[in-house]
Chain A
Amino acid sequence: MNHYLVFLKKELVEHARTYKLLIMLVVFTIFGITNPLIAKLTPELLASFMPEGMSMTIPEPTALDSWAQFFKNTQQMGMIVLVLVFSGVLSSEISRGTLINLLTKGLSRQAVILAKYSAMLLVWSLSILLSAALTWVYTMYLFPKDHLGVGYLLFAISCMWLFGAFLLALLLSSATLVQGNYGSLLLTGLMVVLLMALNIIPSIKEYNPVSVASKTMELAAGKIDPSSVYTAVEITAVASLGLIALAVIVFRKKRL
């Protein structure tokens, strides 16, 4: 059997049995259910905390508020959980030495990187799909009168997915570059912070992968045209592929 498929199977078994898959699915299920709920309940919660005799006009929540919750949660907590869950996926195998055994049996190093990335992408896709589907169904139930442009919404969700894929590529290539479990996490964090800092410069914003995630809300609401993030989307996709290629090249020569 092909090394890639053999190792992909091993990775998926690992994610399932070491509860990585479970954690991801549970966290994103919770997001999916609470997104519309929080949007619906926020005005009532605010009203109940309001002191006696004081009144404030809070606009009636809409389906858009529910999706705002979705994009906010996925972009912040979701990405943090994603990176933390998969932070040790390559580095722990290197530091523990579990890979050496298989590599001496002729397992191709390229297959290791590609299979690991594919397995992570699969879990990530499943998680965001589940969360989006739950948000969708629940939003329709709680806000039956509101209608959003399905095309815009799907494009925004795809952008969010792409940013997750970019983070995973960053994480995997970091693990080939530095030693230890925390090293790769640190490097990934630093890179993200750097990209965010760069976003302050307006002329770079258009090309920055961070825009892909940060503009999702406006995209979903139809406030900006999808074409305004095309450049960033292309750059993010190319950068992800480039990072994986880098990971393969570095890992091939890495001393284990």
Chain B
Amino acid sequence: MTAAGPATGHVSAAELAAAAVADVLADLADLHSRGQRAVVVDSPPGAGKSALVVRAAAELASAGQPVMVVAQTNGQVDDLVDRLATAARGMAIGRISGQEYQPVPRVTRHAGVSVAHRVRDLAGCPVMVGTAAKWATVGDGSWPWAIIDEAYQMRSDMLLRIAGRFDRGLFVGDPGQLDPFSTVEIDRWTGLTWDPMQSAVAVLLRNNSDLAVRRLPVSWRLPDSAAPVIAEAFYPFTGFLAGTGPGERRLELATRALGTGPVDEAVQTAAASGWALYELPARQTVRTDGDAVAACVALAGRFLERGAIAYSEQAPGGTPLTAGRIAIGTAHRDQARAVREALPPGLDGITADTANRLQGREYDVVIVLHPLSGRRDATAFHLEAGRLCVLTSRHRHACVVVARAGIPELLDAHPSTEQVHLNVPAKFPDGWEANQAVMAHLERLRVRAL
């Protein structure tokens, strides 16, 4: 990153991050001698997870060890292929895909990348990249190494299907994000160490308790204003630092508002402090709360109307905020759809999607429709820590949370009532507590809508 930072904080953050990556690579090199078969790397939001995957794949491949790289979606695979091909020019990369897949330009523009449906058509590629679902259909062959990206989002039954293909594995993922889910609700496997509903990493660690778990200590995405809040709420025992120091990321509004309204006030608060809570009057609403949807769209639009300019270590001279760099995040698909339908023609470049689909994405400004807004109850789904964590950790500059008033009271009225099961390790952070922590921070940056 930038070399000319202040002597404290920033430089040491970069050094810390480099040391952590070096540790992981050293682990991979001497894993065999320690009699272990896997390394797990926990990564907070935007901590260079993909960069680590790319680097590890390139190093292993150049040391003559074929690697299978596993990601969860075709989009993630394409991103990895693109980054790998850029980082390791000249290396042959195989992109293994399903029958339906249409190669995208960011894959086909690299000469070293071949795309095929079958492994034998990719013979000679030291690195092969594919989705977990595709790898599960590969019936034979064996790789000395596998790198599994977003391993906390992969279900353990998927790991069971691909684990026979590799000897040793590097599992990389963010433990704070959403757990994988199933369309069936059933508790017959609760407490088993191989519960297929758990994430791949949870099962791996329960069956191999001696494995080393490494951590990436620095988030390059989250600004200095967000890292401590997110770390305290969602990574209470491990924490992480922001890669940039105070004032290094700024969001400035080029124009002044005529008069003042709550929307402008929220936009200014977010630009100045990195966060704002735009609070609508308390009310129980249907999931697609029309007022809240309109508020999300108005806030997003106002950032653009006010000519927001983002100053960061990547663009010290500032770049104007564009619609493509703004996202509106929701809990449910119908809410995302309502937001998308409400976006006026000029703003249709804004991404509106659910927490599940925003995982792994990055924007300059994110507007969050709070999962508990307007609700009468707080269910496990809406309390899930991972959901709020994904929504509030996608931004490089500012995050505005839109919510009906009364969420702390709702939380107080609905403490977690999940059953406690034998043989199930307690999961931290608790969603209820994480929600309270985020609300406690936002309380101070609250703007009341009229």
Say whether A associates with B.
no
